[in-house]
Structure 1
């Protein structure tokens, strides 16, 4: 499974592009969304100093066919609406690649995270282009299951280390005591823990935004 973060720019003729660029200090946070056959429904939280003006423009926009308020405050509003131009939803539906929510849209650009097979990612790229959406890839990596990250033996030793208090501060169990508990040599326990910690720490660093490592996989969208 590959996990990707994309920045997507909507076509200029789409309402969200028009409003989010006209009110560039506002953020549009899509909390929930579902496509219909020809329209889409969404729950969006809008934050910024001009939310009242944004809502009025949404009500008047021909691509918004229905709108109701779910929550309102001075600088934030949550709206439920139907639109005839849910291009992200259509791209997701046609590619079979679910888009993870929430999605943040600011100044015409949406930050989107998806997880799926390399084939599905390539299909999503094709659908984005089909619907006129420009995108750039910010981050791509292989998403491994925890069982793939650690061997069964490494997982057993790490779990025992946690349960016995080896990682507590102060420690409740020494390396010698942990090895005795597992009935293995101290050197074997140390080596197994070190290899497990290496995998866990490298995975943690790979997950940090803006960090590139040699463990990153090639972009599956670029090769499509």
Structure 2
């Protein structure tokens, strides 16, 4: 089985209220854990968010294109959204049902859009690429054989977390004795030391939790 990883960018965002959530500094958009287009053309998704989820609830309930939503009371969690997507996104996610390919989850954010891995046979994947709406900007990140277990753990991490982890490993943070510190990693990436500490804690929690489940 083959897989292709793309970065997709589309004006208007990939779901109702996306711009509102992206523009709100109190909300951190982590990843999409489920996306499907229903027969009536509406979209259903499970979106992992952190931060002020009361503000998330306000954005979603006041948005004309959101049909229904369910937001947890905690400071992070999966948010259910049922809404009306813009046409390019409706057509894009409908390709899974039309051609029998798999959009692997979680789908993560990049600085420019979404990082999505599609899996299926090679011919079908090429056909899907040719049918992606022209309104969606594509960047090919990777293509090749889809190996079992290849992307599951890595896909749990956001782009920034992968950047922090890469620097930490390359600079010897996990060696004995440690080859670097949180302060040095932060200086190399250009973020606060506390940000590096938080990212490493979350990386370790997600990776180790995934390994023992």
Length-normalised TM-score, structure 2: 0.56
Distance 2:79 2:147 in 1: 37
Alignment check: 8 A CA contact 1:30 1:104 kept: yes
Residue 39 (1) aligns with residue 53 (2): no
Alignment check: 8 A CA contact 1:10 1:16 kept: no
Decide which of 113, 121, 142 is 1:117's aligned counterpart.
121
TM-aligned CA distance change 1:105 to 1:60, over 3 Å: farther
Alignment check: 8 A CA contact 2:17 2:63 kept: no
Q: What is the deviation of 1:20?
A: 4.8
- Rg larger in structure: 1
Distance 1:104 1:32 in 2: 11
Distance 1:42 1:144 in 2: 26
Distance 1:134 1:39 in 2: 22
Alignment check: 8 A CA contact 2:46 2:81 kept: yes
Residue 6 (1) aligns with residue 10 (2): no
Alignment check: 8 A CA contact 2:17 2:66 kept: no
Length-normalised TM-score, structure 1: 0.54
SS of equivalent residue, structure 1 residue 126: helix
Residue 133 (1) aligns with residue 136 (2): yes
Aligned pair count reads 146
Residue 94 (1) aligns with residue 98 (2): yes
Q: What is the deviation of 1:107?
A: 5.2
TM-aligned CA distance change 1:43 to 1:143, over 3 Å: closer
Structure 2, gaps ≥5 residues long: 155-161, 164-213
Distance 1:11 1:95 in 2: 25
Matching residue of 2:198? none
Matching residue of 2:209? none
Residue 65 (1) aligns with residue 67 (2): yes
